[in-house]
Structure 1
């Protein structure tokens, strides 16, 4: 019984193996970025950028239909434009960054849905918003694997700079001429993963696999070096469980994966050793840190 549910589908069906590979690629690269987003207090930035991808992907869809290169290129352009525009608006106007993100979030979502609706059907709109992880082809898998590899390599190479920019950005800018470049590098990685996740989970669900495992990991450890792999592991497990649940019940795959991540997050809220409800309510011993 266990094998029939948790193993056999991935052995018997190629689309299940493709879905698992694509979801795991997004999980292990996106969730560590989510940890940095939380530490930077930019959790809503991921949500805003995920919707910023939508108009560009919609324009690509209008031009070339459900074409992966066209929608990916459009999503990248739109994501980078919104990221740069948000930073410029917060730096050169009196608006705070959260207000700029909220404005771009609302406009991008409305514009993207309108553009898709002008030419496509409700089925096309659902595909753009929620993705189709069971329909990943070779091109989508190559893109997901490439983005995942690039992200992990960049995190490894620029790890110290990213940590310093997260904890003390002013010091980083004073000690290295590349300090101004690091935030844009980080936002670029976020946009890349959101665009990659767009094909598998859609614009509305991709950010969930980035943020929920990261939030859960932060409730279990205060150590950044431990939180990054823990977030990736949680995301990978949730992707696997969501795929199995979707295959068994017929539930939509993207929402099933995000619901699995949500269950882990809610459990972490209660039992998390570094910040869960039970941990905070437990009386501390004398001199306990």
Structure 2
């Protein structure tokens, strides 16, 4: 019966309901940020920042064990430090931003893995790297819901400023005294969602739920106002599909969710109405003379 596969697990098992609620919170707040990252040509920045979270989370783990507040605070501080340091390196040196991001990405990943390995076991390391979406407790759910709510409210309040900063940052700086503040606000939201995401999906997988649905949405529409909710919807669908697949097959949950997002992205590459392969190969109509 289809209900046994698609509905019953979420009715019968509390851990499945917790996983669904927590992952949906990440989906609806993270994927719209991914759309802005793509438009800003900062897709790799999301990946780099996701690994920048790791050393801070590892230090929190060394101090307090698998403590949610300690690891969250450490990850948030580390992510913000790397974001600021990357901007400073690209501004005051001859290195381009992508080179600075690559350097911080590699160092952060190596440092985080080393710190976790000093005190913990391979199980603890896998928990930090790949998350434990089926192990979300009340504290984690409240944090995910809080981050999601804060992100959506901030996007709604500063939507116009974020769009201007994405499409014409010079105009925003000339017309608003808050123009210099908006990029840091945006990076702060990205880091906050990545920190929340590592609790469920781990530092290696969290960025996938931000970027892949956003990339898929951009292949279906050129309208930003449509791409944001579409990305959130695609991410939510991928969360549900990944949880069902993981429950049925025993596959790791985080990678299953990201693989579902990857399938949506590859399907959009082919069929997307705003940039898919079939759309681009379709012959254009010429105006009749």
TM range (shorter): over 0.9
Q: CA–CA distance in 1 between the matches of 2:73 and 2:37? A: 24
Q: CA–CA distance in 1 between the matches of 2:253 and 2:10? A: 15
Aligned partner of 1:218 in structure 2 is 218
Deviation at 1:173, TM superposition (A): 0.5
Deviation >2 Å, runs of 4+? none
* 1:68-217 → structure 2 map (5 Å cutoff): 68-217=68-217
Structure 2: segments with no counterpart, 5+ residues: none
Q: CA–CA distance in 2 between the matches of 1:229 and 1:89? A: 34
Spell out, residue by residue over 1:173-220, the C-alpha distance to the aligned partner (whole angstroms, 9 max, x if none): 111111000000000000000000010000000000000000000000
Q: CA–CA distance in 2 between the matches of 1:276 and 1:23? A: 28
TM-score normalized by the length of structure 2? 0.99
Q: CA–CA distance in 2 between the matches of 1:32 and 1:208? A: 13
Q: CA–CA distance in 2 between the matches of 1:93 and 1:224? A: 34
Greater shift, 139-148 or 84-93, is seen at: 84-93
Deviation at 1:93, TM superposition (A): 1.1
Q: CA–CA distance in 1 between the matches of 2:176 and 2:89? A: 25
* 1:25-44 → structure 2 map (5 Å cutoff): 25-44=25-44
Aligned partner of 2:273 in structure 1 is 273
Q: CA–CA distance in 2 between the matches of 1:102 and 1:180? A: 25
Distance 1:150 1:287, change over 3 A: farther
* 1:206-285 → structure 2 map (5 Å cutoff): 206-285=206-285
Q: CA–CA distance in 1 between the matches of 2:256 and 2:80? A: 29
Structure 1: segments with no counterpart, 5+ residues: none
SS at match of 2:160: helix
Aligned partner of 2:8 in structure 1 is 8
Deviation at 1:287, TM superposition (A): 4.0
Q: CA–CA distance in 2 between the matches of 1:90 and 1:181? A: 18
Spell out, residue by residue over 1:213-263, the C-alpha distance to the aligned partner (whole angstroms, 9 max, x if none): 000000000000000000000000000000000000000000000000000
Count of aligned positions: 288
Q: CA–CA distance in 2 between the matches of 1:97 and 1:229? A: 29
SS at match of 1:179: coil
Q: CA–CA distance in 1 between the matches of 2:180 and 2:42? A: 17
Computed over aligned residues only, the root mean square deviation of the Cα atoms, in angstroms, reads 0.8
Aligned partner of 1:18 in structure 2 is 18
TM-score normalized by the length of structure 1? 0.99
Deviation at 1:90, TM superposition (A): 1.0
Deviation at 1:95, TM superposition (A): 1.0
Q: CA–CA distance in 2 between the matches of 1:177 and 1:228? A: 26
